[in-house]
């Protein structure tokens, strides 16, 4: 029997979980497909991560999507709530598929609960609810998503490709897309223009 004192084993480190956070592209990503993007992370686990770019507008509006899916005609609605809102370019994966980030949380046919207040839905029923004026108070509709395989996002973070910060719903839903990058940077206490200038002189 060993009578020597031994140190207790170190507790296992918790895996990184960025669900509910913004990923903010570093200024070094100039010319990259994700230049000046803000991504909201919806899923993150050992198998990988899924997020939506929330500040890159497409030329499509929610009204266009409702018309294409015949939602308005089927429900015989003359005006749908949020119809003038722009649809975001959510990322390069499954660009023909729509994803609705919404608050408050409600369960639809295909919904992922992100936290107590936010959900991500990819089924048509949420668009029907929006068209009837019965949808969530805040919505962000995106076509496509950004995806990472196992360990890929962690590797990009280690290479300083991204900054991350707890997401703010005002920035997410109530800030103009063109202003979200600067506002997300300010959540970290950074000025995007000054950071870009400093990196340019590094």
Q: What distance lies between CA 102 and its chain's CA centroid? A: 11
pLDDT at position 196, please? 59
**How far, in Å, CA of 39 to CA of 120, rounded?**
14
Give the model confidence (pLDDT) of 107-157 as tens digits: 999 999 999 999 999 999 999 888 888 889 999 999 999 999 999 999 999
**How far, in Å, CA of 71 to CA of 187, rounded?**
38
Instruction: Find where tokens 């990503």 sit.
Output: 29
pLDDT at position 189, please? 92
pLDDT at position 76, please? 61
Q: Three-class SS of residue 199?
A: helix
The length of the chain, given as a count of residues:
202
**How far, in Å, CA of 43 to CA of 18, rounded?**
8
Largest CA distance in the chain: 83
pLDDT at position 33, please? 87
pLDDT at position 10, please? 47
Which residues, listed in sequence order, are joined to residue 61 by a DSSP beta bridge?
Answer: 86
pLDDT at position 103, please? 96
pTM, entire model? 0.86
Q: What distance lies between CA 112 and its chain's CA centroid? A: 13
**How far, in Å, CA of 189 to CA of 150, rounded?**
30
Q: Do 147 and 41 form a contact (C-beta atoms < 8 A)?
A: no
pLDDT at position 3, please? 47
For the chain, domains (ranges, CATH) are: 21-200 (3.40.1740.10)
**How far, in Å, CA of 26 to CA of 38, rounded?**
10
Q: Do 38 and 23 form a contact (C-beta atoms < 8 A)?
A: yes
How far CA 20 is from CA of 16, 71, 113, 144, 149, in Å, comes to 12, 30, 11, 18, 18
Q: Three-class SS of residue 96?
A: strand
Joined together, the tokens standing for residue 122 give 């990819």
In the chain, which residues have pLDDT < 70? 1-14, 72-84, 195-202
């Amino acid at each position: 029997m060993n009578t020597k004192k031994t140190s207790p084993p170190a507790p296992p480190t918790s895996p990184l979980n960025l669900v509910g956070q913004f990923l903010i592209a570093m200024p070094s990503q100039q010319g990259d497909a994700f230049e000046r993007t803000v991504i909201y992370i919806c899923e993150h686990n050992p198998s990988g991560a899924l997020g939506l770019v929330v500040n890159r507008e497409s030329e499509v509006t929610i009204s266009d999507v409702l018309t294409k899916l015949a939602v308005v005609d089927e429900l015989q609605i003359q005006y749908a709530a949020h119809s003038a809102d722009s649809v975001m370019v959510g990322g390069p994966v499954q660009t023909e598929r729509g994803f609705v980030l919404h608050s408050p949380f409600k369960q639809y046919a295909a919904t992922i609960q992100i936290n107590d207040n936010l959900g991500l839905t990819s089924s048509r029923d949420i668009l029907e609810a929006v068209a009837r004026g019965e949808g969530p108070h805040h919505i962000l509709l995106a076509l496509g998503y950004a995806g990472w395989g196992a360990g890929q996002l962690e590797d990009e973070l280690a290479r300083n490709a991204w900054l991350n910060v707890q997401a703010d719903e005002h920035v997410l839903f109530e800030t103009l897309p063109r202003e979200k990058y600067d506002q997300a940077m300010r959540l970290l206490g950074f000025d995007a223009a000054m950071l870009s200038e400093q990196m340019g002189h590094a």
